[in-house]
């Protein structure tokens, strides 16, 4: 009887070590897949924001340069949280640049020359689209009862909406100058 009890405890311990979450087995691959795709989009937006930050020019250079640096830092801060959340629940995450390019939905911009207005307009649109992707991922997580991930996403939605708001005000102001 003592051996049986010890075996049961050992089995429970092994199961606990293998199970990283109380989410259903079906939830983990679906949620981590959504997070991987979201992470690819966030990396893409980060790179585009830094690209535009580096290549900014014009009379409002300083303000736009500093704003985009602030935005890029905020976007980059999301990456580790997204990846670690996927790992915490037992999923996998991105492994390479090719993973990013294969999964990202936001388009890159490789243009040699782009006006400050067009940069801001493109980032405005991309942040709006990222908000939609965040909401979609939130729905997936909510469906499976992953309240920790939905809570993180709610904060990211707020941050992304704030970036969109700032950029849309800039774009509107730049239109008035034309």
* pLDDT per position as a tens digit, 32-90: 999 999 999 999 999 999 999 999 999 999 999 999 999 999 999 999 999 999 999 99
Residue 11 is predicted with a pLDDT of: 59
Start-end of H helices in the chain? 2-18, 27-54, 61-88, 97-103, 116-143, 147-177
Helix (H) or strand (E) holding 58: none
How far is Cα 37 from Cα 30, in angstroms, rounded to an integer?
A: 11
Q: Where do the structural domains in the chain lie, given as residue ranges?
A: 28-177
Indicate the range of 20-34, 66-80, 156-170 predicted with least confidence. 20-34
pLDDT band of 174, cuts 50, 70, 90? confident
User: Looking at the predicted structure, is the pLDDT value of residue 16 above 60?
Assistant: no
As its CATH architecture, domain 28-177 has Up-down Bundle (1.20)
């Amino acid at each position: 009887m003592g051996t049986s009890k010890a075996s049961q405890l050992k089995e429970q311990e092994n199961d606990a070590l293998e199970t990283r979450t109380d989410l259903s087995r079906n939830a983990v691959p679906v949620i981590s897949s959504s997070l991987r795709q979201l992470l690819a989009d966030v990396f893409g937006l980060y790179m585009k924001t830094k690209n535009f930050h580096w290549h900014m020019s014009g009379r409002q250079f300083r303000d736009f340069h500093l704003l985009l640096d602030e935005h890029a830092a905020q976007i980059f801060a999301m990456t580790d949280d997204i990846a670690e959340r996927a790992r915490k629940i037992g999923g996998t995450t991105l492994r390479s640049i090719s993973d990013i390019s294969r999964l990202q939905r936001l388009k890159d911009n490789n243009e040699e020359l782009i006006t400050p207005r067009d940069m801001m307009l493109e980032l405005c649109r991309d942040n709006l689209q990222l908000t939609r992707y965040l909401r979609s991922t939130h729905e997936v997580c909510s469906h499976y009862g992953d309240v920790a991930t939905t809570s993180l996403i709610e904060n990211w939605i707020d941050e992304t909406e704030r970036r969109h708001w700032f950029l849309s005000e800039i774009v509107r102001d730049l239109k008035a100058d034309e």
